[in-house]
Amino acid sequence: MILSGKEVSSALRAGLAAQVATFPEKYGRAPHLAVILVGDNPASQIYVRNKAKACESIGITNTTITMPADSTEEAVLAEIKRLNEDSGVDGILVQLPVPKQINTARIIEAIAREKDVDGFHPGNVAALWQKMPCMVPCTPKGIMKLLAHAGVDPKGKRAVVIGRSNIVGLPVAKLLLDANATVTMCHTRTVDLPSITRQAEILVVAAGAAKMVTGDMVSDGCVVIDVGMDHDAEGKLCGDVDYDSVAPKASWITPVPGGVGPMTIACLMENTVEAFLAKQK
Ligand code: NAD
């Protein structure tokens, strides 16, 4: 069965829009997300535009701050400081990757933790690993919502995650562990990957390697979550999973596009609303 992020995210966004519509009367204003885009990376420009559109459709105020590709780290840090101090801004994110002259870790650390709607700040990462209240990163959060929508309870299941990035692999493994799955993490140094993926009841693939997971690598009934956003030999958008050979074996599978991607943006909107509400207490 197809696990449609398009469908689940639409429902989530509709719920958020209804909630946000009540905010001006209750709290005097709508939530506000500020996005900093440094440089002119075409993919980043598309992501930023999609985030602005999502804000618009939900009623969240959006400011996109574009800075030239040769901006200094100091200039970006100054912009973040200004946004941190602006009480009318609830969420801040810097679109990654940033140009080489800018240190990504320093940028992420500079964002006020309570406004870090991406959930990348070291304080949020530490809190996640300590099971403390935190901003849950958007893509892993979206994956857990997709599993819940499919009625898949990770408890007691064997989950395999391919990829150990800070953005997807590591946090999604932690969320699965917290949901009582038994989690195995795989990466480029993993020996005999297929022997491990074939044990998976839940398989999350976040490797950035087009169609690397093929039908012979999954067992019947596996729930397959494809995080990848790649291009095949013909330049067509595809995931890390070879959909045609894997789908017949999977009990649930996320398509690319229309799977995890839309969930990431919807969860960013949810995190912005959460950051806003946390300030109203
Ligand atoms: P990354 O490059 O930071 O990490 C990739 C990880 O996969 C690494 O840990 C690496 O060891 C592992 N890996 C790579 N090739 C492998 C292989 N052949 N076998 C085993 N392990 C392998 O990437 P990331 O930021 O985690 O993103 C992963 C993919 O997910 C990319 O395609 C990215 O575009 C996509 N992505 C999608 C969304 C979304 O919203 N849909 C969000 C974030 C990332």
pLDDT for residue 175:
98
- For the question of residue 95 being annotated catalytic, the response is yes
Q: Do domains 27-113 and 138-261 have the same CATH topology?
A: yes
What confidence score (pLDDT) does residue 96 get? 97
Annotated domain spans of the chain = 27-113, 138-261
User: Is ligand 1 within 6 A of the CB of residue 165?
Assistant: yes
Catalytic residue selected from 90, 116, 118, 242: 118
DSSP 209: -
Range with the poorest average pLDDT among 10-14, 81-85, 208-212, 231-235 = 231-235
The mean per-residue pLDDT over the stretch 146-165 comes to 98
Best CATH choice for the domain 138-261 from the list 1.10.760.10, 3.40.50.720, 1.10.10.10, 2.70.170.10: 3.40.50.720
In this structure, are residues 4 and 259 in contact, taking their beta carbons and an 8 Å threshold?
Answer: yes
Contact criterion met (CB below 8 Å) for 241 and 205: yes
What is the structure's pLDDT at 277?
Answer: 98
pLDDT, one tens digit per residue, over 110-119 is 999 999 999 9
pLDDT at 60: 98
What's the confidence (pLDDT) of residue 79?
A: 98
Does 106 score more than 90 pLDDT? yes
Question: What is residue 128's predicted lDDT score, i.e. its pLDDT?
Answer: 98
pLDDT of residue 129: 98
Q: What pLDDT, in 10s, does the model give residues 159-193?
A: 999 999 999 999 999 999 999 999 999 999 999 99
Q: How far apart are CA 149 and CA 131, in angstroms?
A: 23
Instruction: Please give the CATH superfamily to which domain 27-113 belongs.
Output: Leucine Dehydrogenase, chain A, domain 1 (3.40.50.10860)
Cβ–ligand 1 contact at 198 (below 6 Å)? no
pLDDT at residue 281 above 90? Answer: no
DSSP E strand stretches across the chain: 32-38, 61-67, 91-94, 158-162, 182-186, 202-205, 223-226, 230-231, 237-238, 252-253
168 lines ligand 1 (CB under 6 A): yes
| Average pLDDT, integer, range 109-128 | 98
